[in-house]
Amino acid sequence: MLSRLLRQCLFILIHFFVNILVAGQNLYYRLCDKKCISPDNQVTKRDVLMLLNSVPNMKKKLKHLVVLVDTNVHSMSDLALLVIWSLIVGIPFVSFHDITGQLKKNEEDLFMEIERRKKGVPGCIKWSNKPDLNGYTNGTQAHTVYINIFSESDGRLKIAQCIKLIAKEHLQSNRCSEEYTAQEFSETLMHLYPSIPDPELVLYTGPLCSTFGLLPWHIRLSEFIQLSVNHNININSYLGALYKYNKCDQRFGK
């Protein structure tokens, strides 16, 4: 009985000291991030050059980047900068997975924030349900990035919706028998999803690494990389995540 009480007290003390260390680490990161952030979080010429100079060092070409978004800690400015940085680097697909469900409701605000910060940066931004922004600069075609916003409702609920539509024969499907194969169902499900590649990289902030409802077969080969412990986002942590992804050795089950 006494030994059990001692173990509990020891556990509480360890937990207390760990919380203090984490709080100190978060404070340190916040102070460091303030030094790295440019005035008004604008994309500077230095940022553009830093990103462009980093591209030749990245041997793995990233096609689809997913960012886990918590609107309680991430601002529209943070998300806009991620889009602009990805546009400069040349990542063709950027998707935001809306954890709280608020980003979808305020998509117009994100659209305006990106448009405001994109001034002077060549490239084309296309939204799933928004008009295209300018994709030409001085007559030259620049990079294009496609933006999608997903939430938990686009996961299991979307699959349930697909099954209901199939049962009511409201959704076109190709099948050879009464039963669906995995391939046939996947092809049918694509009618409800935009045609985008599976994400290779998922970025998140904070101490918790979770899928937050991302479909398992979409992220079976995805790398989850932490941007920061304290939810701050800056260009150094973004580039650090891309470099870390480039160093990952994916064996594909071999």
Indicate the average pLDDT of the chain.
80
Q: Model confidence over 25-76: pLDDT tens digits?
A: 655 555 554 444 444 567 888 999 999 999 999 988 999 999 999 999 999 9
| Contact predicate 117/111, CB 8 Å | no
Describe the strand order of the beta sheet including 93-98 as a list of residue ranges.
124-127, 144-151, 93-98, 64-69, 201-205, 223-228
Q: Indicate the pTM of the whole model.
A: 0.75
Q: Are 87 and 93 in contact (CB under 8 A)?
A: no
> In 31-189, where do the E strands start and end?
64-69, 93-98, 124-127, 136-137, 140-141, 144-151
Show the CA angle centred on residue 216, arms to residues 212 and 217, nearest 5°: 145
Residues 6+ apart with CB under 8 A from 170: none
The per-residue pLDDT for range 72-119, each reduced to its tens digit, is 999 999 999 999 999 999 999 999 999 998 998 899 999 999 988 888
End-to-end Cα distance, the chain: 50
Residue 169 clears pLDDT 70, i.e. is over it? no
